Structure 1
Amino acid sequence: MKRFAAITLALIMALICVPVMAEKADREIEGNLAVFTTAEDFAAGTLENVVTDESIGNGAIVLKEGESEGTYTSVVLGTAPFEYMVASWGADTPKGTWIDVSARAYVDMKKGWTEWLSWGKWSDSVKRGSVSGECDLAYMDTDTFTISGKDGETASKIQLKVTLHANADGVSPTVRQLGVTYKNTLEGQYITPVYHGETVELPEKVLLDTPAYSQMVREQSIANSMCSATTICTMLNDRGEDTLPEEIALIDYDSDYDGFGNWSFSVAAAGSYGYDVYIQYADLDIVRQELAHGYSVGINVKYSSSSNGQYPYLENGAAGSTAGHLITITGYETIDGVDYFYSSDSAAGSDAGCLRRYRADQLDAAWSAKVAYIIHDKEENISACNPNRVECELVSAGENEYTLMANGEAVQIGKNFTSAKWKSDGCGIIAYYLEGEDVSEAPAPENVKTGDANHTFRYTVKGNENGNLAIKPKAILGGLKKPATMHIFVMANNGTTYTASLELVPEVTETPTPAPTEAPAESEAPAATDEPAPAEPAATEPEGGLSTGAIVGIIAAVIVVAAIVIIVSKKKK
């Protein structure tokens, strides 16, 4: 018995001393990016109440018929040791549906997995927000999954999970793409990015006709903080859309972060338009490849435009100084042996001013986190949720009041629509521009695509207590003397934009004809009387001299005598 107990104890001790073997990776990743985008990619994982659908885009996952919630879990990915990772996704979320993307990582030094940490609730039609979760081995900082520790802790395996939530009618969201990128900033452990796709031979110069939009002239309550949304808008319109920066901001807003700078949410907003999208920790070689393929690229930067600023110096920077900013890269060129990149930098004060050329070495130093927004082509056979624009009519509801009518039904625009832009469901931003002969607009940027977003927008229209739009034509037209067309965009934070047009005509004020000046009254004739008119006084002769008649007689006599003398003289001759 004692011998049996000793053998049992020895076996237990042996088992305790054997190190726990880490779970083997199912798929080894080259570089620092993994993307799941085909039905085959998704089928390799674990599907609970979820099915793959090859007919949607490149392949997708949706909930099983009748299920209200389901989960997809990826295979285990083997990676180079990393400290940070960011997830991205392309999904369609019909009204009332949403998804939740999460991940876990295997931390080598701790020989264990982290807990599942979430990027939060995302949808373009419901209130979305990140989750600042944490566990013993890692934490989530808005959009960045970070391995905890101060002793060089890194992870070398990743597993992704996405949970799909149907709406009350049983409609499922669709996940078309899921991606993850990671990096290591420890000395000697840099992970070289690998281009996702076929590389091409780089031309000497690339300069795309990417649009240019200044964020600083947009809705002023968010103008200083919507660089990420403006960058996504710039890239989408470069691909053929015609959206407004505010429309992207409204579906990009993170209610937990209380802002528009969530990298994952920004790229998800682009994905909701049906595009192949992902985030990659990249380098300038990746950017050049994207440009050579015809795709502009969004990158994060922090810089000072003066050489003695607190951030990396970027000559000709559109922002004076910025601790965090997103810009669009539109081309590259080498001039006199110096490499440059062209940019649409939304921090400029005008659309035309956004077009900049930056030195490559300075730009690389300013590219702080090495995050790149990648947007390729729109997938086929999809039902993208965006753009979700509804054409409407404006029907007069009284003086300076109009009802927004969509398909014969009134759209209620409450009094707090613009004041509760993000805080209440269905609120948002109202913007308009004028089109007409007398309308003056800022100069458009040259040699680039232009569209609705390049017009001069104003934001003075509000909703009223009747649920209508308060539109004052006289105030809107200002000093215009000729009619103009008002194009209005009512952008809601649930992903819907209502558009309408209204002809505005200046009030014609008739100039009154001046009253004729009253002429002075003519002298009236004396009134007739029955009394005889008084006799005129008789002429009187001057005292002490000849009368006038006598003088005239003398002169006449002298003339006659002179005439007789002349005649007699002629006869004597």
Structure 2
Amino acid sequence: MTRSASRRTVLTAAVAVAAGAAAASAAVPAAASPTGAAAAPRTPLVDNRFWSTYRDWRGGAGSGTRVAAGRRPSLVIATPSGRTEYTDPHTGTTSTWESATWTSPVHRCPVPATEVIASWNAHTPAGTWLAVELSGTYSDGGKTPWYVLGRWAAGDTDIKRTSVDDQSDGRSSVWTDTFAIDDPASGLRVASYQLRLTLHRKPGTRLTPAVWRAGAMASDIPDRFTVPASTPRAGRELIVPRYSQNTHVGQYPEYDNGGEAWCSPTSSQMIIEYWGRKPTARDLAWVNPAFDDPQVCHAARYTFDYQYDGCGNWPFNAAYAATYKDMSAVVTRLHSLSDLETLVRAGIPVITSQSFLEKELTGAGYGTAGHLMTVIGFTPDGDVIANDPASPNNQAVRRVYRRREWENIWLRTKRYNAAGKVVSGTGGVCYVYWPAHPKLAQQRALGAVGIR
């Protein structure tokens, strides 16, 4: 379904071997009842911290940056404080860039974490790009190095957007887009972290990236083959465009082998268009006019990670969604289908990541080691309505999956593959995209699942 399978198996396995004691002590927060009454709070598993307001940006340490005020405050270059010679590993080209940096305040995790995944929303006009780094403090007081979580541009002419391999200090590592503790069973966790943004531009110009949102999701999901069942709430279905990745098989194989592996950008494009945004005719001029749904090809190209050699980089998909006018996007984890229902009831569809054997998801007709699909609603009985891009054509994309099966394959961290070997699951990873200025009900729904 997607090339992200092998990479996701490796990175999530770092969490999946967590000590049994951790699983016993970290309870999944109880879902809201059908009447909306919350149960007694329990130990949280997920912490989101995003910087996006004028006060947030002023609270960090800038070197050559300033905060641009407005309805959507942003971090921009004021006077460059550095000069960088960057050799693009994917082209071999060395270029000189002016740079400025912003370092976030230290964020202490309410959830001492085994994994951290960053997200950023930014405008990078031609001649600019952005680097995102993370440094953490371990629960024993030790420090991580500064890890690169992405070198990113919305386009692909100045640099090739890329993750960075082979980053480790022997205690933690970065797996493409995810910081992970190497041995969670040891009890080691990340107690706090900082992000560092480096904004680059061509020397002698007044160009600048503009960063509207940056932050991370930290989590400590316990080992689990199954998760508690949630109680269904009143159903609602959102009308979301339907696109099949399989209608693009063989198209632009330079981007992750073509459509057969495009579940992530296809899902992203569906939700972007749900919110009324889409590429312009000029944006799509590069696509072969004989191809249907050229915007899916466009999404694949502009989410492509040249190091990972695929379109399944989670933060790169969120960053792509946020290149559209007044859009916000993050990668996070949710605790249950009740969280998903909260968002859908407010009109916010969600892209989820899951892996399963064919027999584990009735009606799918396939098994996968990693796949993205879009949850657009729930039936009156609580079953999941999903736009599944792994469908033969656009008309077949809407699927209804059994609630209990779907909930388990999405939220578990361990599973058995076809060979009977224990492998990993994603533990509730999802992409959430919404307008930068949402309605009050949408603000409340986002806040209810920890996104602010």
Q: TM-score, normalised by structure 2?
A: 0.69
Tell me the residue number matched to 1:286.
339
Specify every segment of 5 or more residues in structure 2 that has no aligned partner in the other structure, as ranges: 1-43, 82-97, 225-231, 280-294, 411-424, 439-452
Residue 119 (structure 2) pairs with residue 83 (structure 1): no
Q: Matches of 1:219 and 1:242 in 2, distance apart?
A: 22
Contact 2:133/2:147, CA 8 A, preserved across alignment: yes
> Which structure ranks higher in relative contact order (CA pairs < 8 Å, sequence separation ≥ 6)?
2
Residue 75 of structure 2, aligned match among 61, 84, 90: 61
Task: Tell me the CA shift for residue 281 of structure 1.
Answer: 1.1
AA aligned to 2:77 is L
Tell me the residue number matched to 1:211.
241
Q: Matches of 2:267 and 2:144 in 1, distance apart?
A: 33
Residue 153 of structure 2, aligned match among 114, 120, 123: 123
Q: CA offsets per residue over residues 61-81 of structure 1, 9 Å max, x none?
A: 000046621111111111121
Task: Tell me the CA shift for residue 285 of structure 1.
Answer: 2.3
Tell me the residue number matched to 2:313.
262
Contact 1:106/1:158, CA 8 A, preserved across alignment: yes
Task: Tell me the CA shift for residue 203 of structure 1.
Answer: 6.5
Tell me the residue number matched to 1:38.
53
Contact 1:97/1:125, CA 8 A, preserved across alignment: no
Contact 2:45/2:220, CA 8 A, preserved across alignment: no
Contact 1:219/1:246, CA 8 A, preserved across alignment: no
Residue 174 (structure 2) pairs with residue 140 (structure 1): yes
Task: Tell me the CA shift for residue 96 of structure 1.
Answer: 2.1
Residue 433 (structure 2) pairs with residue 375 (structure 1): yes
Larger Rg: 1
Task: Tell me the CA shift for residue 230 of structure 1.
Answer: 0.3
Tell me the residue number matched to 1:233.
269
Tell me the residue number matched to 2:398.
355
Tell me the residue number matched to 1:393.
none
Contact 1:205/1:332, CA 8 A, preserved across alignment: yes
Contact 1:83/1:155, CA 8 A, preserved across alignment: yes
Q: Matches of 2:397 and 2:45 in 1, distance apart?
A: 36
Contact 2:80/2:100, CA 8 A, preserved across alignment: no
- The root-mean-square deviation of aligned C-alpha atoms, in Å, is 2.1
Specify every segment of 5 or more residues in structure 1 that has no aligned partner in the other structure, as ranges: 1-28, 189-201, 308-312, 381-573
Equivalences, count: 328
Tell me the residue number matched to 1:198.
none
Q: Matches of 1:81 and 1:70 in 2, distance apart?
A: 30
Q: Secondary structure at the match of 2:163?
A: coil
Contact 1:96/1:125, CA 8 A, preserved across alignment: no
Tell me the residue number matched to 1:526.
none
Aligned 1:133-212 pairs, distance under 5 A: 133-149=167-183, 150-168=185-203, 169-186=205-222, 204-212=234-242
Q: Matches of 2:306 and 2:437 in 1, distance apart?
A: 29
Task: Tell me the CA shift for residue 108 of structure 1.
Answer: 1.1
Contact 2:233/2:341, CA 8 A, preserved across alignment: no
Q: Matches of 2:145 and 2:57 in 1, distance apart?
A: 22
Judged with a 3 Å threshold, the aligned counterparts in structure 2 of structure 1 residues 62 and 379 are, in CA distance, closer, same or farther, namely: farther
Q: Matches of 1:45 and 1:242 in 2, distance apart?
A: 33
AA aligned to 2:164 is V
Aligned-residue sequence identity (percent) comes to 25
Residue 325 (structure 2) pairs with residue 295 (structure 1): no
Task: Tell me the CA shift for residue 379 of structure 1.
Answer: 5.5
AA aligned to 1:151 is S
AA aligned to 2:146 is W
AA aligned to 1:285 is S
Judged with a 3 Å threshold, the aligned counterparts in structure 2 of structure 1 residues 85 and 343 are, in CA distance, closer, same or farther, namely: same
Q: Matches of 2:46 and 2:175 in 1, distance apart?
A: 23
Q: Matches of 1:242 and 1:265 in 2, distance apart?
A: 17
Q: TM-score, normalised by structure 1?
A: 0.55
AA aligned to 1:155 is V
Q: Secondary structure at the match of 1:279?
A: strand
Q: Matches of 1:303 and 1:137 in 2, distance apart?
A: 30
Task: Tell me the CA shift for residue 272 of structure 1.
Answer: 1.2
Judged with a 3 Å threshold, the aligned counterparts in structure 2 of structure 1 residues 187 and 249 are, in CA distance, closer, same or farther, namely: closer
Q: Matches of 2:367 and 2:298 in 1, distance apart?
A: 27
Q: Matches of 1:187 and 1:66 in 2, distance apart?
A: 46
AA aligned to 2:198 is T
Aligned 1:400-419 pairs, distance under 5 A: none
